Amino acid sequence: MEFRETTSRVVSGYGKFGRSRPKPPRFSVRERSRRYKVHLWISSGVTLDHHGAVPRPARVKQSRPCNGADEENYTRYMNSRAAIYVTYAQRSLLIFVLVCISIWPGLVLKRDEGGFSNYGIHIKTAVVYTFAYVVCALFTFMAARAVPRTSATLATLARILNAYGVLLLLILFSTYGYSLNTALKDIHAVISLLAMVFDPAVCVWLVVRMRRTHWDRFFFCLEFLGLVIGVIDFLKVAHVLFASEATLAFAFGFLIVRGVHSLTTAPSSVPT
């Protein structure tokens, strides 16, 4: 009798100790319909709200506008980041230079004036002097990275910005030891002379290619005035090294900001 009962339980899906394998649950018609809709919504890539019943479209992050005119304006805005970084670079350099002068004005503002590099060999101004070049170089490298390589002109502009950032760091690191011996002083003098030639050459390259205004022409002339003052100091006619450096740096800062903004936001820089 017990054998027959066990056999009947196994055959009907029950073992000796109860159910041997579970049967699939039975859902009502309404529940099956709801589960089928949920399956369709999931397979179609549509998300559900917090109740799990009402479908809503999934959020899709759009990187660019669909309209052609809006896309052009968006690209110009993204390209102008390079001009923003260059502006930060030149403003930071100007601020730190003014801080150095305010700490020790007699170091450069005198009749027999020296160069701005004198602030890098004294303890009370060396930190500010270092920040002046490091912050400016970092923002310049960021600007070079933000320049789009959509044309040969913009690719050259990015290389110019990278070269300018490297030149700033070379001037900084050659400053610390130029007062130790003649060899280091000559290295620093060569790098400073290279920077004095680099700035006007870049200004010529920018003015030829960018949309010019009256202020651009004025600062372009001011740049070459600083070069003439530097030649006067180099020929030992007068000790006006800081006047030459300040004039060159101020005019170059204005033109590099204007040039980067003009070239990166020009219609030719926007990909079609």
Same domain, 98 and 35: no
Residue 134 is assigned to a structural domain of this protein:
yes
- pLDDT at position 39: 60
Is 103 in the same domain as 195? yes
- Choosing from 56, 71, 97, the residue where a domain stops is 56
Do 254 and 153 share a structural domain? yes
Are 46 and 138 members of one domain? no
Judgement on whether residues 10 and 117 belong to the same structural domain of the protein: no
Which structural domain, as residue segments, surrounds residue 29?
A: 2-56
Residue 114 within a domain: yes
Residue 75 placed within a domain = no
Q: What is the reported pLDDT for 177?
A: 84
Rounded to two decimals, what is the model's pTM? 0.70
Q: Which of 39, 56, 73 delimits the end of a domain?
A: 56
Query: Does 178 share its domain with 243?
Result: yes
List the pLDDT tens digit at each of the 272 positions of the chain. 444 444 455 445 444 555 555 565 666 666 766 666 666 555 554 444 444 444 444 444 444 444 555 555 555 555 578 999 999 999 999 999 999 999 999 888 887 777 888 899 889 899 999 999 999 999 999 999 999 888 999 999 999 999 999 999 999 999 998 878 888 889 999 999 999 999 999 999 999 988 888 899 999 999 999 999 999 988 888 888 899 999 999 999 999 999 999 998 876 554 44
Number of domains in the chain: 2
Residue 83's contacts (CB-CB under 8 Å, 6 or more residues apart) are 143, 257, 260, 261, 264, 265
What angle (nearest 5°) sits at the alpha carbon of residue 238, between those of residues 237 and 242? Answer: 135
Same domain, 221 and 109: yes
Instruction: Looking at the structure, tell me whether residues 114 and 188 fall in a common domain.
Output: yes
- Residue 74 covered by a domain: no
Same domain, 201 and 263: yes
Q: Are residues 50 and 125 in the same domain?
A: no
Which residue, 37, 56, 75, sits at the end of a domain?
56
In this structure, are 44 and 98 located in the same domain?
A: no
Q: Is residue 152 part of a domain?
A: yes
- Same domain membership, residue 154 and residue 24: no
Q: Residue 64 domain-assigned? A: no
- In this structure, is residue 239 part of a structural domain? yes
Residue 73: inside a domain, yes or no?
no
Q: What is the pLDDT of residue 64?
A: 47
pLDDT value of residue 22: 58
